[in-house]
Chains A and B, each alone.
Chain A
Amino acid sequence: AAGVIQSPRHLIKEKRETATLKCYPIPRHDTVYWYQQGPGQDPQFLISFYEKMQSDKGSIPDRFSAQQFSDYHSELNMSSLELGDSALYFCASSLGVSPYGYTFGSGTRLTVV
């Protein structure tokens, strides 16, 4: 079965650079969620989209922005990167707004040097 696809799997950036993470949800899933997981930490909710509109916002820094496109894929844009942004970034998708069918991608590991 198709899963949530995230790209790239690994990304190394320097401080103050920008990064773009991509998420391709399971076909027909219309809701996308982004999470950040620091080393040894639990995943923290960043932002979600339902039908291309932002549906909820968590602890996402102002330096970050995200959007969901007409094909339902989503991109997380991160600017002025800081060392503390080094983390695993997970995307998840579901059909509708309920978390019953929450499927996560394998994540993008971002390292800021």
Chain B
Amino acid sequence: GNSVTQMEGPVTLSEEAFLTINCTYTATGYPSLFWYVQYPGEGLQLLLKATKADDKGSNKGFEATYRKETTSFHLEKGSVQVSDSAVYFCALPGDSSYKLIFGSGTRLLVRP
């Protein structure tokens, strides 16, 4: 079945550093891919998505490109802020469209 693997955290960066969080997937066909963010004590928020190969999702300075050749959807940001500290989840639909399968989450801590 569909699955997703993302890099383990925590990732600790200084403010204005470059961020990459790796995500690779296994899937039948070319499903939509998502990044969700969870700030401390809060729910899951959709950060960005890509619905087909070579699409680039972007939001709040974050970007991720759907690469079918490498089955990857890595999250990047050129200059992180303290307010970006959160847990980031890569996700894709399960074998049925009724559910999302999440990666294990990567905790990002940005220090001033």
Q: CB within 8 Å of B: which residues of A?
A: 31, 33, 41-43, 45, 48, 50, 55-56, 58, 90, 92, 97-100, 102-107
Contact = CB atoms under 8 A, between A and B. Distances in A.
28 contacts: A31-B98, A33-B99, A41-B104, A42-B105, A43-B44, A43-B89, A43-B100, A45-B94, A45-B101, A48-B98, A50-B98, A55-B96, A58-B99, A90-B43, A97-B97, A97-B98, A99-B93, A99-B100, A100-B49, A102-B46, A102-B100, A103-B46, A104-B36, A104-B43, A104-B44, A104-B45, A104-B46, A106-B43
A90 B44 contact: yes
Contacts, number: 58
B102 interface: yes
A100 B51 contact: yes
A13 to B, nearest CB: 20
Interface residues of B, number: 23
B57 interface: no
B106 to A, nearest CB: 10
B42 interface: yes
Contacts of A99: 32, 34, 93, 97-100
Contact of B102 (A31, A42, A100): A42
A55 B46 contact: no
Interface in B80-112: 89, 93-94, 96-105
Interface in B44-78: 44-46, 49, 51
B5 to A, nearest CB: 11
Given A43-B44, A99-B93, A104-B44, A48 B51 contact: no
